[in-house]
């Protein structure tokens, strides 16, 4: 692992370390941050985990989450901690634009920066960069980093639980982005004593009734299938957000239902939020939704899972998406299997 000796020397004495991850943190962002934080604390460092915005309730059970600071909620403790910051660790994102105002604490400073991420096209930020776009998740990479760094193996059950959470959320429970290396890592994690059943239940089987009804509404009333371009679209407008009392995280996973259709190769899920329209893209096969998110919606991500946003109206967003489909007709109609 290139540069690991330099990291080893930086971390050889106790440091003040800020771990950050992206806005609307998901299981991988949260899992990698909490795993890294607990490991560094065991090594004697002073660590703060800070996210730009709040995390979904379904992750409230995760070990160490009570110490997470949210910039949108209260920037003060983060600002205070950053006055004596020595090391910045960037996890599960690769451009400071993804952490908004939290980025001011990481810019123009004499900081040692570590970046660990698996998204495409990383900005060149970081003195040590572990960027592997073929990895399933940032959690997989954090575990790889810990194993290479730490022969004494300080991975305990809490750290293993956090890492496993990011792996299953970013792979759709081992459906995609898997590799022999990933399964070897998971085997090592399970040897520590993971209760995988309980973790899956906590993440995937704790829906509120209103969320399942929201899913029903999306599938029955808000889904459009465009056969010519093998594209499925679901949208939710402001009114839906009120009626279904949609909170952070409540729409997680809905986009994936579109991919269950034999004839859908690209799934698009559009949410009309108070100030922006947020869009999630998913695809099957080698069709790159990352390209669409980047070129048309200020976004990015991975080939088969990407996201972005627009500031235009819901109707204009739907029109724009439909207008770009024809140029991808051939790629979208390519057989998957
Ligand atoms: P999701 O649709 O679950 O929000 O995101 C899918 C993937 O796209 C994730 O890897 C996420 O990091 C990335 N992504 C989502 N929204 C954005 C965005 O606005 N900008 C960029 N660069 N990536 C995004
Ligand atoms: Mn990730």
The pLDDT of residue 107: 85
308 lines ligand 1 (CB under 6 A): yes
Per-residue confidence (pLDDT) for residue 211, from 0 to 100: 95
pLDDT at 154: 85
Q: Which residues of the chain have pLDDT under 50?
A: none
List the shell of residues around ion ligand 2, using CB closer than 5 Å. Answer: 28, 92, 138, 170
Phi-psi region of 20 (alpha: psi -120 to 50; beta: other; left: phi over 0): beta
**Residue ranges per structural domain of the chain:** 4-204, 210-332
pLDDT of residue 109: 74
Q: Indicate the class that CATH gives domain 210-332.
A: alpha beta
Which among 220, 275, 5, 312 is positioned nearest to 128, based on CA atoms?
Answer: 5
DSSP bridge partners of 276: none
Radius of gyration of the chain (CA): 20
Which residue is closest in CA terms to ligand 1's atom 17?
A: 307
Ligand 1 neighbour 301 (Cβ under 6 A): yes
Question: What pLDDT does 160 receive?
Answer: 97
Distance CA(320)–CA(156), nearest Å, equals 48
Count other C-beta atoms under 10 Å from residue 205's C-beta.
7
| pTM of the predicted model as reported, rounded to 2 decimal places | 0.92
pLDDT in tens, 44-76: 999 999 999 999 999 999 999 999 999 999 999
CATH of region 4-204: 3.90.1640.10
Whether 302 is in the pocket of ligand 1, judged by its Cβ within 6 Å, is: yes
Q: Whose CA is nearest to atom 24 of ligand 1?
A: 307
Residue 289: predicted pLDDT: 98
Q: Do 251 and 234 form a contact (C-beta atoms < 8 A)?
A: no
Rounded-to-integer distance, Cα 203 and Cα 58, Å = 6
Pocket test for ligand 1, best of 305, 306, 311 (most atoms within 8 A of CB): 306
Residue whose CA lies nearest to ligand 1 atom number 14: 307
d(CA 295, CA 301): 12
Distances from the Cα of 4 to the Cαs of 10, 45, 181, 308, in angstroms?
A: 10, 18, 20, 33
Ligand with an atom nearest the CA of residue 23? 1
95 CA: nearest ligand 1 atom: 22
User: What pLDDT, on a 0 to 100 scale, did the predictor assign at position 303?
Assistant: 95
């Amino acid at each position: 692992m290139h540069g690991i000796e330099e990291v080893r020397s930086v971390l050889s004495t106790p440091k003040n370390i800020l771990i950050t991850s992206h806005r609307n943190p998901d299981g991988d962002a949260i899992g990698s941050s909490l795993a890294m934080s607990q490991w560094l604390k065991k090594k004697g460092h002073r660590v703060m985990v800070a996210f730009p915005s709040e995390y979904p309730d379904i992750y409230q059970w995760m070990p160490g989450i009570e110490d997470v600071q949210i910039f949108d909620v209260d920037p003060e403790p983060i600002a205070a901690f950053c006055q004596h910051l020595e090391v910045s660790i960037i996890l599960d994102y690769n451009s400071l634009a993804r952490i908004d105002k939290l980025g001011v604490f990481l810019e123009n400073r004499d900081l040692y920066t570590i970046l660990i991420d698996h998204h495409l096209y990383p900005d060149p930020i970081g003195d040590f960069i572990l960027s592997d776009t073929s990895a399933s998740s940032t959690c997989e990479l954090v575990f790889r980093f810990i194993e290479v760094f730490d022969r004494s193996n300080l991975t305990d059950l809490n750290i293993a639980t956090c890492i496993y959470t990011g792996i299953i959320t970013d792979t759709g429970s081992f459906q995609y982005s898997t590799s022999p290396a990933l399964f070897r890592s998971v085997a090592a994690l399970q040897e520590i004593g993971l209760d995988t059943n309980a973790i899956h239940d906590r993440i995937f089987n704790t829906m509120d009734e209103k969320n399942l009804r929201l899913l029903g509404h999306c599938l029955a009333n808000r889904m459009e299938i465009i056969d010519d371009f093998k594209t499925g679209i679901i949208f939710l407008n402001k009114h839906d957000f009120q009626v279904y009392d949609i909170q952070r995280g409540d729409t997680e996973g809905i986009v994936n239902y579109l991919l269950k259709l034999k004839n859908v190769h690209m799934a698009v899920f559009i949410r009309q939020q108070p100030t922006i329209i947020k869009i999630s893209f998913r695809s099957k096969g080698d069709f790159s939704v990352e390209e669409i998110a980047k070129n048309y919606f200020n976004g990015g991500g991975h080939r088969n899972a990407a996201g972005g946003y627009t500031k235009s109206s819901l109707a204009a967003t739907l029109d724009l998406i439909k207008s770009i489909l024809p140029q991808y007709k051939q790629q979208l109609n390519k057989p998957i299997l």
